[in-house]
């Protein structure tokens, strides 16, 4: 290490000599300024070298500290940086079993939450394959549950049979409630209503998946009701009285969902979905006031608020209250102008304005819808 400072000093001395030699062709002031610049450059280079040496001398962060860093990035939704941190841990610390296991699962969670489902499937599959024994075994049920969700979201129904088998093999200890919930989802997707009900009913009340299981039990009850209605004579299938009686079990199931405590963001979302389901059932059975009450329980902060606004507007239309329907659609245009219902909501709003004699307003609304969606149509 000793020769390096001498080499740097020698280089600087030569630079100063070169500047001095060049000074014969320069004035004294220019030569002095040139020499000062060379000395300044040397000092700057020396400082940079010292900074690099200081950084290299710092102790490297432990695997546990890096895991905490990645977890914080994941919680703050900095998914790109979280994925980098977890990938580095998995690559560098395969022999640190506890950290490796958690980092691999959280890498899958990072991809899943950022909607990179193909990458998430790859990582969760790895967790499930490596999780037969060791530290990863604790993460295997959660990985299989996520794989089930990805299969349902991507329409990969062929994967459900294998997932159902593997979920049965993973049922043990505290993972029982998660496995029961995931198996219920698989059976529901396979239209095995009795099997889905039996599995979902085993999810205990204190399970973190109780809200989701209760909601799916409502879906099961609704599908059973729809099957019963379909078997009725055509004339009875659209009778509000008949539908009210047939949907009674489903209504009660979703009511139970709305009574559950909204103690986490996910649970609060499930409760909102329960209110939304009640609103739709009341709409189908011409119970307009009950439908309005159900939709009004969905708050502005909910991911379902836009759906509730659009659907409550449809209820007001059925009630003949065009003014309230317009107001709901106007709020929807402000809070979610590019949402899934934007085009349909804009057309309904323009139609209501037209019906109530607000011709200029209706024209402006229709032109706004056209201007918003014409470019998309041209691209298609």
* Tens place of pLDDT per residue across the chain (380 aa): 444 444 444 444 334 333 334 434 455 566 556 666 666 666 666 666 666 555 545 567 899 999 999 999 999 999 999 999 999 999 999 999 999 999 999 999 999 999 999 999 999 999 988 877 778 888 988 898 899 889 888 888 788 878 878 877 765 555 678 888 988 998 998 899 999 999 999 999 888 899 999 999 999 999 999 999 888 888 787 888 888 899 999 999 999 999 999 999 999 999 999 999 999 999 999 999 999 999 999 999 999 999 999 999 999 999 999 899 999 999 998 888 887 777 788 788 777 877 777 877 777 777 777 777 666 555 65
Looking at the domain assignment, is residue 259 inside a domain?
no
Quick one: how many helices (H) and strands (E) in the chain?
20, 0
The sign of the torsion formed by the CA atoms of 289, 291, 297, 299 equals negative
Looking at the domain assignment, is residue 122 inside a domain?
yes
Query: What does the DSSP 8-state code read for residue 138?
Result: G
Residue 341's pLDDT is what? 78
Looking at the domain assignment, is residue 103 inside a domain?
yes
Residue 100 CA: distances (Å) to CA of 64, 87, 94, 145, 302: 10, 10, 6, 20, 36
Residue 52's pLDDT is what? 55
DSSP three-state, residue 235:
helix
Distance between CA atoms of residues 142 and 148, nearest Å: 10
Task: Please list, residue by residue across 224-248, b when 16 or more beta carbons sit within 10 angstroms of its beta carbon and e when fewer do.
Answer: bbeeebeeeeeeeeeeeebbbebbe
Looking at the domain assignment, is residue 125 inside a domain?
yes
Looking at the domain assignment, is residue 140 inside a domain?
yes
CB 291 within 8 A of CB 315: yes
Looking at the domain assignment, is residue 12 inside a domain?
no
Q: Which of 128, 150, 175 is the last residue of a domain?
A: 175
Distance between CA atoms of residues 324 and 345, nearest Å: 14
- Return phi, psi of residue 78, to 5°: -90, 75
Please choose, from the candidates 290, 347, 342, the residue with its C-alpha nearest in 3D space to the C-alpha of residue 318.
290
Looking at the domain assignment, is residue 193 inside a domain?
no
Q: Measure CA 332 to chain center.
A: 22
Q: Which of 158, 175, 192 is the last residue of a domain?
A: 175
Supply the CATH number for residue 315's domain.
1.25.40.10
Looking at the domain assignment, is residue 83 inside a domain?
yes
Residue 83 structure tokens: 């994925």
Number of Cβ within 10 Å of residue 122's Cβ equals 13
Residue 65's pLDDT is what? 92
Tokens 């000062």 appear where?
36
Distance between CA atoms of residues 293 and 313, nearest Å: 13
Domain that holds residue 362: 303-379
Q: Which of 128, 152, 175 is the last residue of a domain?
A: 175
Q: Measure CA 245 to chain center.
A: 37
Please choose, from the candidates 159, 164, 193, the residue with its C-alpha nearest in 3D space to the C-alpha of residue 179.
164
Task: Report how many domains make up the chain.
Answer: 2
């Amino acid at each position: 290490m000793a020769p390096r400072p001498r080499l740097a000093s020698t280089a600087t001395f030569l630079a100063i000599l070169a500047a001095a030699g060049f000074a014969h062709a320069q004035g004294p002031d220019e030569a002095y300024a040139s020499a000062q610049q060379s000395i300044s450059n040397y000092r700057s280079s020396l400082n940079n070298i010292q900074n690099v040496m200081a950084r290299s001398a710092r102790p490297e962060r432990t695997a546990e500290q890096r895991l905490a860093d990645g977890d914080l990035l994941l919680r703050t939704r900095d998914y790109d940086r979280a994925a980098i941190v977890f990938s580095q841990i998995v690559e560098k610390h395969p022999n640190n079993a506890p950290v490796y296991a958690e980092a691999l699962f959280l890498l899958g969670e990072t991809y899943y939450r950022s909607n990179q489902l193909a990458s998430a499937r790859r990582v969760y599959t790895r967790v499930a394959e490596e999780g037969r024994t060791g530290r990863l075994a604790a993460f295997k049920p959660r990985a299989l549950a996520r794989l089930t969700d990805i299969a349902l979201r991507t329409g990969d129904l062929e994967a459900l049979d294998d997932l159902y088998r593997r979920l049965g093999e993973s049922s043990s200890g505290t993972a029982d409630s998660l496995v029961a919930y995931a198996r219920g989802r698989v059976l529901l997707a396979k239209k095995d209503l009795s099997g889905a009900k039996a599995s979902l009913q085993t999810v205990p009340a204190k399970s973190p998946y109780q809200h989701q299981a209760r909601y799916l039990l409502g879906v099961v009850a609704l599908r059973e009701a729809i099957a019963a209605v379909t078997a009725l004579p055509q004339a009875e299938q659209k009778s509000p009285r008949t539908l009210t009686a047939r949907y009674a079990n489903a209504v009660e199931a979703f009511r139970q969902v709305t009574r559950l405590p909204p103690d986490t963001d996910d649970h609060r979302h499930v409760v909102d979905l329960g209110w939304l389901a009640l609103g739709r059932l009341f709409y189908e059975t011409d119970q307009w006031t009950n439908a309005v009450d159900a939709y009004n329980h969905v708050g502005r902060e909910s991911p379902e608020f836009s759906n509730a606004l659009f659907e409550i507007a449809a209820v007001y239309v059925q009630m003949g209250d065009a003014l309230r329907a317009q107001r709901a659609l106007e709020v929807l245009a402000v809070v979610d102008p590019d949402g899934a219902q934007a085009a349909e909501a804009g057309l309904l709003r323009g139609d209501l304005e037209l019906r109530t004699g607000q011709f200029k307003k209706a024209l402006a609304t229709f032109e706004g819808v056209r201007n918003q969606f014409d470019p998309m149509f041209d691209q298609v």
